[in-house]
Copies of this chain bind each other. A is one copy, B any other.
């Protein structure tokens, strides 16, 4: 039973996560209803609670899922390259990937905004997320500077604040006008302007 039950439980868990992404993206954490998420999976509230003990636990699971998907995209580039090009390419690749998953982008935009309230369950998660992402970009820009490929006059710490702000602001505009706004293209153009070498080698991109 335990053996055959495991994949079935996993499949159900996946189904709940997928429904939760949609619900949190559309109504936010406070507006989403556990009952509706359960109904979308044809299970009861108690059935859902068997997999996720609270709405809060479900939200954190959704955010962690999104983060691990992001990491997979990121890892297709060598993010440890000391010249920072791997991280910068990873950022652009992630933006390209995001253009294929508008529901996840909307989830991120909505939960990120909501979590500005100190009592939101994702407040600490998002605070840590901002700190981590910003310091990763700053690390890459410092590496580019040491490698002599960062455009003159760019401060790595400030450049990281700007790149992250641009990326997130673009997500909102792109959700509003996906045909008029290029999420990945605009980010790529900006990253490219910060470098004195092409972002991609001839065999990449």
B175 engages A165 (CB within 8 Å): no
- A114 to chain B: which residues have CB within 8 Å? 28, 31, 110, 113-114
**Residue from B26, B126, B186 within 8 A of A176 (CB atoms):** B126
- A100 to chain B: which residues have CB within 8 Å? none
CA distance A134 to B116 in the complex (A): 25
CA distance A168 to B169 in the complex (A): 5
Q: Which residues from chain A sit less than 8 Å from chain B, CB to CB?
A: 25-31, 106, 109-110, 112-114, 116-117, 126-127, 130, 134, 158, 161-162, 164-170, 172-173, 175-177, 181, 186, 189-190
Residue in B closest to A169 when the chains form the complex, CB atoms: B165
| Copy count, this protein chain | 2
- Would you mind naming 6 contact pairs between A and B with Cβ atoms under 8 Å apart? A28-B28, A106-B117, A110-B113, A134-B173, A161-B173, A165-B173
CA distance A127 to B174 in the complex (A): 11
B170 engages A161 (CB within 8 Å): yes
- Indicate whether A112 sits within 8 Å of B165 (C-beta atoms), given known contacts A30-B27, A186-B158: no
Residue in B closest to A129 when the chains form the complex, CB atoms: B176
Closest Cβ–Cβ distance, residue A203 to chain B (whole Å): 27
- A172 to chain B: which residues have CB within 8 Å? 112-113, 116, 165, 168
13 further interface pairs, Cβ-Cβ under 8 Å (given A126-B176, A165-B165, A165-B168): A25-B117, A26-B117, A31-B31, A110-B113, A110-B114, A113-B172, A116-B172, A130-B173, A134-B173, A161-B170, A161-B173, A162-B190, A168-B172
Residue in B closest to A115 when the chains form the complex, CB atoms: B176
CA distance A15 to B92 in the complex (A): 46
**Residue from B28, B168, B169, B189 within 8 A of A164 (CB atoms):** B169
CA distance A112 to B26 in the complex (A): 13
- A126 to chain B: which residues have CB within 8 Å? 176
Q: Which 5 A-B pairs have the closest CB atoms?
A: A30-B31, A165-B169, A113-B113, A169-B169, A168-B169
